[in-house]
Each structure stands twice: as structure tokens, then as C-alpha cells.
Chains A and B, each alone.
Chain A
Amino acid sequence: MAIVRPENMDFTKQTFSAIIYGSPGMGKTTLALSAPSPILIDFDHGVSRVSAKHRVPTIMCSTYEEVLADVDSPDMKEFETIVIDTGGSFVSFLKDWATRTKKDAKTQKGTVNTLKVYGHVKTEFAAFTEKITKVMNKNVIYVFHSQEQADKDGNTVQRLMCEGAARNTVWNGCDFGGYLQMVNNQRTICFTPTDEFFAKGTHGINGNRPIPTLDGARPNDFMTRLFEEARQSIISEKAESEKLMAQYEDTMDMVRTCVENVVDIETANMAVESIQNFEHALTSRTESLALLKAKTDSLGIKYSKAAGGYIAKDGGQ
């Protein structure tokens, strides 16, 4: 039985997808490894830069095929979070994989068909992320280096260091994306976009979050606590959002029936009155009026404020 009613949905095991980016040396990898039960995919060969006490089991790889084999192994079961470090290096691995394995990656002259390669990279990047989050039901954190660019007025803007469309599409499924920086000598991650950097927040995670300094006593658990905060936010919003959604669906069902029954001026007048009296939720009122307008347009009638109801237009009816 795969149908779960909203009141029975369980968000206590909700997983998340996140992006952490920032300058080299800011501690992005260590921060990402503060997620629950992590495994690191070290595309960047940078695990040696993580303090020994914060290191975690790591997939050290030289090809994408090796990563796939490890990800598919039973050993993965114990991990809750997969950290991809860095997203930019992952794209480089995918380029290598596509060039070696895809028939259309080479032209007839034997040169690399860049367009085709990037097409495969984009598709595989999305498929890999989908597999981790939807099939394996694990958290995923993409770590990216940032690179400074100047906008047309010379202001500094921070960008993900990554080639191809992945640097845009990686944001689509991500729940939070934060830029890591020093603010007043305090390491801080910001989940709200600014002129200088893009960011993304949801489920109550937004704004600047200071990152605690890791001394001997403090556990590396920032992302674990962040995920838990988001999870609690989802659970607390659950009752209200379910009620609104159920009301919205009920109202829209009634509206569709009501509009289907409109055949002339009289029934249109009855429909507009009924729609006003329905109990509306979310955007059902605006959607209802749009649905009714489409129907009355097709019948050649229109609403007249002066007449206080529908009238024929352009000789219709």
C-alpha cells in the first residue's frame, strides 16, 4: 500500500539536500561533515586538509565508475548523509567519464564533442543526486569552492566554481544553500540571498547562522542540528499546511463542477455567486475566477460591473 494520507505522513525521517560554498580554507568540508552520519566522496582529494578528529569514512576515487560501485555497495547502508566534495570536481569526473564511455562524445575526427559531453554531465549529475535523495533516501550536501567575479559596476559577487549547467540546476532540488564567510571574525553561513552572493533557505532556515568554533569538547554537529531544526519546522507546519491544502482541493473540486455547469448568462451569474460563497484556501479564489472567465469567454459573455452580472458581448448569446 503506497498511498499515505496527509494525517499519516511521517516527516521525522525527512532528508535534505544542501549546498555549502565559500572560499578555500573556510572549513566547508568540516562543516558539511557535521551532518548526521556522513560519508565523504572526495572528488577534490582534499580530505587530508580536514582535521584528523573530524574525518569520516571517505570514498577516495579516481573515476566516476569507482564512485558508482561504492555507492551501490551494501556498506553505504550505515550512512545517512553523502557529502560531495566538491561539486565542481564532481563535474570534472563526469566529463572524464562521459568522454571515455559515451559513443557520441567524440566527433568523426576524434576530437571531443563538448556539447554532447556537457549534455551527459548534466543528465548524470541530476540522476546521481536523484538516486541519493529519492532512491537511497539519504541527505546530500554539495560543497563548492566560490570564485569572485565583478559585476558591471565593479562590485564583487561570489559564484559557484563549477562548469556547465550543473551550477544552475544543482539549486533546483536543494532545500538550503548557504554561503560561508567570516563576519566580524566569526565564521558564518548565510541562507538568505544578497547582492554579493546567492543563497537559499526553507523550512525556517534563513539569514546568518554563526558557526561555533570547534574546540575539543564541542561535537561537530552544526548541520545535524540544522537538519533537525528544519525537520521540526516541517512537523509544526504540517497541521496547518495539510488543512489548507485539503480545503484548497475541496474548493477547487466544487469550483470545477460549478464552472462545468455554466452554459448561459443565468448559470454564469449563479456560478459567480456560488464561487464567492465557497470557503477559499490558498489561491483558490483567484483560480476560480480565472476558470470561470475562461468558460464565460468561450460562451461569449462577460461580467459587467454596471449591470451587476453577466451580459452578452460582441453579439454573443
Chain B
Amino acid sequence: MRLKITKTLLESWAYTFNCAEGYEDEAYADFLSTLNREPSEPNEAMQNGLDFEDDVYRVARCDPNIRNPKWESGIEQVARIIRGAQIQVPAGRELELDGVTYWVYGILDALKAGVIYDVKFLTKSMGGVDLYGKYLHCSQHPAYFYIVPEAREFQYLVSDGDSLYIETYRREDTPHICEIIRPFIESITEQGLLDVYREKWAVP
């Protein structure tokens, strides 16, 4: 038996510690929902992100019929970078850690010539927020670097529909995914949630 582990699970766990003050209960409820693999409808921000990504992939595949012309500039900028890449690539790799076999799994937004790309959408204007360093502690690039060992670079392509911000991480500057999974397991063990994880995330 293997235990599946995804960046969504790790990020929802991390968010219980990193969330803004006053959102602790909401973050914990979201994490429990993710841990229990409860289906959920995307909220408005998530749906905007999905719609933006759809248009980016459409343009990257040379289909000019975008559905959200209000984001045309941002869509074009991101699509130009990932054109020619394989898009929405499901990938996984086994990891042995402390006697347990994990199945580290993810869907790469785009993959081309040793570079993994992840498309992010901001619902508020980029002019009002400091983005640089935003993904320093994100589990996504460590997880994906593990899944695709030949990848050398990971780029977060962040758009607000108008501007584009690129945050790049290289393999040599990225912690191994074990350094994130181990504290995650310790944390859910302390919280008495390890059995839930084993039950809900077991895969053949």
C-alpha cells in the first residue's frame, strides 16, 4: 500500500499555520476537508483561476477563442511562455520515507525542456501586493522537482490578468520534499489525524 501525497494536501496543511489572523478556524476546517477528501465546489477566486488557466492553455495551443477577453493581456503573456510545452501533465513518483511508501503526485501545468511551469492567478491587482518571495516556502516546487527528477527549474507564472510576475526556483536551491513530508506526518500524528490520512489517501 502506498500513501498518496499532493501539493494541495501539503499546502492546505501549511495554511493552517500561515493563514492570516482570524482565519485559523476556517483554515483548519479546509484542511480537514482536504484530508478527508471531501468534494468541494470551487469558490469564486478558484473559479477565476481555472477560467484564466483554460484560456492560457487555449492560446498556448494556438486557439485564439478566449472566453475572458478582460484578461487578454495576462493570458497572452503566460501563453507565450508555455507555448510548445506539454500541458496539464499528470506525473507521480514513489518515495520511501521512514519505512513508508508515498506516492508523490501532481499535475504539472506545463513542462518544456527541463522547466516546470505553474500558472497562478491573482484576483486583485499586482500593483497592490508584494509578490516576490511569495512561493519561497511553497511545497509545490519541492514536490514537483521530486516527481520530475530531470527538471532543472520551476517557474511560477503569476498574473492578475494584466501583468505577469515570474518567480523562478532552481533545483539546487530547493529543499528535498522529505523535509516537508516529515514535519507534515509528525504534525498530523500529534493532532491524531494520521489514521484519517492512511485511510483516505491510500492508493494501490
Q: List chain A positions with a Cβ less than 8 A from chain B.
A: 118-119, 122, 152, 157, 159-160, 163-165, 167-169, 171-172, 192-193, 195, 197-198, 200-202, 206, 244-245, 248, 280, 282-283, 285-287, 290-291
Contacts and interface: CB of A to CB of B under 8 A. Distances in A.
Contacts of B133: 157, 193, 197-198
17 contacts: A118-B127, A122-B163, A165-B163, A169-B163, A172-B166, A198-B136, A248-B114, A282-B114, A282-B150, A283-B112, A283-B116, A283-B150, A283-B151, A286-B91, A286-B111, A287-B111, A290-B90
A165 B173 contact: no
B131 interface: yes
Contacts of A171: 132, 165-167
Contacts, number: 87
**Size category, B interface:** 35 or more
Contacts of B18: 152
Contacts of B168: 200
Contacts of A152: 18, 20-21
A165 B126 contact: yes
Interface in B138-196: 148, 150-152, 158, 162-168, 170, 173
B89 interface: yes
B8 to A, nearest CB: 20
A168 B89 contact: no
Contacts of B164: 169, 172
Interface string B8-33: 00000000001011000000000000
Contacts of A157: 133
A172 B164 CA distance: 8
Interface in B81-135: 85-86, 89-91, 111-116, 125-127, 129-133
Residue among B20, B125, B163 having the largest count of chain A Cβ atoms under 10 Å: B163
B173 A291 contact: no
A115 to B, nearest CB: 8
Contacts of B113: 245, 248, 282-283
Interface string B36-67: 00000000000000000000000000000000
Given A152-B21, A198-B132, A290-B111, A283 B148 contact: yes
B112 A287 contact: yes
A291 to B, nearest CB: 6
